Amino acid sequence: MSKARKSCGGKREKSKGSKPVAKEQVGEEKVTFNISKEENFSEWFTEIVKRAELADLRYNVKGFIVFQPWSVLAMEKMYRFLEETLQRKGHKPYWFPTLIPESNFKLEAEHVKGFTPEVFWVTEHGDGEKLSERLALRPTSETAFYKMFSYWIRSYRDLPLKTYQRANVFRYETKATRPFLRSREFYWIEAHCAFASEREAMEQVREDMETTKEVLHDIFGLPFIFFRRPEWDKFAGAVATFAADVLHPDGKVVQQPSTHLLGQNFSKPFNIKFRDRDGREKYVYITCYGPAVSRIFASVIAIHGDDYGLRFPWRIAPLQVIIVPVASEKNEGVIKKALELKEFLLANGIDADVDLSERSVGDKFYYWEMKGVPLRIEIGPRELEQQRLVVFRRDTMSKEEIAEIELLSYIERVSKEIDKNLIEQADKAFENRIVDAKSKNEIAEALDQGKIARCNFCSVSHEGEKCAEVIEKELKARVRGTRLEPEKPDGPCVICGKKASAVVYIAREY
């Protein structure tokens, strides 16, 4: 039994109302999950994806994976929170075609340049007949949406137009793929909006950032910083790109939702004009926003998991309550009560199930802890008789006993505590992970400690790209950008020593 496992058992013994379950906890090694997340994050991540059956990587097309029920159920909940929030803020849902004609795709020069290397092309049908035009499997759908925007927008009365779709997109990635983090097909939402003025468009960008906070931080429990990306790292075709970086335990950042001010860069080639109140025809201003649900799920795994496996925030847990009958032999009364409790919880909108498998009780405990179910209810003959329940919290690995009658109010209260606890732990782990660095050595030191370096930098416009290349080459790290409220540099550029015009953040990425 590993050290981690022992400490868990220790906690249990101390926890209020727990009974001696030590014997059952000594399961076969295969049922336990005890990899140090801190010491070997990469192995931990690979292993939990497999063991919790989040995705199967054996599908026989390179870079494509099969998303399994345990991740799909969580991601469907994540979709729902994102979509409800977008709809509440006035976005309307669409389903656009997956295929984009090459002629659309080519209209915006920067966009085609940026995305062409990653496009999968449909060129044939049937027995090999050629299509008259190549069709792109959408890597993103600007060039599909904006074609239609040109039909839909005629007058200022048609604005703002706020749309979105949930969709799967395709990118021929040349970097190594990793489940959830980077696949050749992934699942996201893309929101596209058109406005009469640049001011309103920038307000939308700010609203997107607020949406990111409301959903990714306040519901999914993910801390992040929004950066304005340097000129050389903007979305292909954007005037400005703002992106949320989440820092994983291995010190690598992941770009989670990004929101882009596209200005009139697409409305001109796509000819999206409106007649304004003054009677004049003008091009609209466009924004787009793209939370990648399957990638956000990677951060949910990475940020909340611990050495025993996954931990889920309550509202996105694929299963919220697992009920484990703990009678030493088959006890019909206990099983009946367990099934009644399940139905009772389901009827109250709580995702619950009973584990009636042939596994030992101890193995069941390990299994559902590894799967990250927030609450476990244990019920045996004693609990049945006394109308009490033993409840185990996955986030704190602690048990307590409650009266059966107070179950709902207990869950009501404790589900909020679980989320609060997970968010606080995540926020705390993110604190102090940004350090000032005055030299390449200090940057390297910060990065090696899994931190983000904050530095004075010559320029985030194209003149600074050379220094960024030095960082990329020598430190294997990237300039993530500047804070939204510009910070004043207090010294020369950390790379070239010239006058600094910005304070930038530097981090490693996958």
Can you tell me the distance from the alpha carbon of 344 to that of 271, in angstroms, rounded to the nearest whole number? 57
Burial of 58 (0-12, 13-18, 19+ CB in 10 A): exposed
Pick the closer one to its own copies by CB: 101 or 269. 101
Contacts of its own copies in 105-134 (CB under 8 A): 116-128, 134
Closer residue to its own copies (CB): 187 or 226: 187
Please identify which residue in 5, 37, 147, 182 interacts with its own copies, judged by CB under 8 A. 147
Least distance from its own copies to the Cβ atom of residue 382, Å: 31
**86 neighbors 191 (Cβ within 8 angstroms):** yes
Decide: is 187 part of the binding site for its own copies (CB under 8 A). Answer: yes
CA distance 46 to 56: 11
The rounded distance, in Å, linking the Cα atoms of 426 and 418 is 12
What is the closest distance, in whole angstroms, from the C-beta atom of residue 66 to its own copies in the complex? 6
- State the binding string over 66-95 for its own copies (x if CB under 8 A, else -): xxxx--xx-xx---------------xxxx
Give the shortest CB-122-to-its own copies separation in angstroms: 5
Distance of closest approach, residue 179 Cβ to its own copies, in angstroms: 12
Contact pick of 16, 20, 30, 151 for its own copies (by CB under 8 A): 151
Rounded least distance, CB 137 to its own copies, Å: 7
Give Cα 20 distance to the centre of its chain.
Answer: 38
Q: Which stretch binds its own copies (CB under 8 A): 1-9, 97-105, 252-260, 494-502?
A: 97-105
In order of 41, 89, 300, the CA distances from 248 in angstroms are: 9, 30, 10
Residues 42-71 vs its own copies: string with x where CB under 8 A? --------------x-xxxx--xxxxxx--
- Residue with token string 């909340």: 304
* Pairwise CA distance, residues 467 & 279, whole Å: 48
Which of 194/414 has CB closer to its own copies? Answer: 194
Q: Which helix (H) or strand (E) holds 377?
A: strand 375-379
Does 97 help bind its own copies (rule: CB under 8 A)? yes
Give the interface size with its own copies as a residue count (CB under 8 A): 53
What is the amino acid identity at position 184? Answer: R
Shortest distance, position 316 Cβ to its own copies, whole Å: 15
First to last CA, the chain: 33
Closest CA to 388 of 19, 8, 93: 19
Residue 149 or residue 392: which is nearer to its own copies going by CB?
Answer: 149
Q: Does 193 engage in binding with its own copies (CB under 8 A)?
A: no
Tokens of 219: 């519901």
Closer CB to its own copies, 69 or 491, in the complex: 69
Q: Which of residues 229-258 bind its own copies (CB under 8 A)?
A: none
Distance CA 8, CA 159 (A): 57
Judge contact between 76 and 351, C-beta under 8 A: no
Among the listed residues 473, 451, 465, the one whose alpha carbon sits nearest the alpha carbon of residue 496: 465
Window of 166-174, 195-203, 233-241, 255-263 that interacts with its own copies by CB under 8 A: 166-174
Nearer to its own copies, 40 or 123 (CB): 123
Q: Least separation, in Å, of the C-beta of 380 and its own copies? A: 26
- The DSSP bridge partners found for residue 350 are none
Q: What are the backbone dihedrals phi and psi of residue 399, each rounded to the nearest 5 degrees, phi first?
A: -115, 150
Neighbours of 267 (CB within 10 A): 23
HSE-up of residue 10 (Cα within 13 Å, Cβ side): 7
Q: Taking CB under 8 A as the rule, does residue 137 contact its own copies? A: yes
Contact residues toward its own copies (CB under 8 A) are 56, 58-61, 64-69, 72-73, 75-76, 92-101, 103-104, 116-128, 134-135, 137, 144, 147-148, 151-152, 168, 170, 172, 185, 187
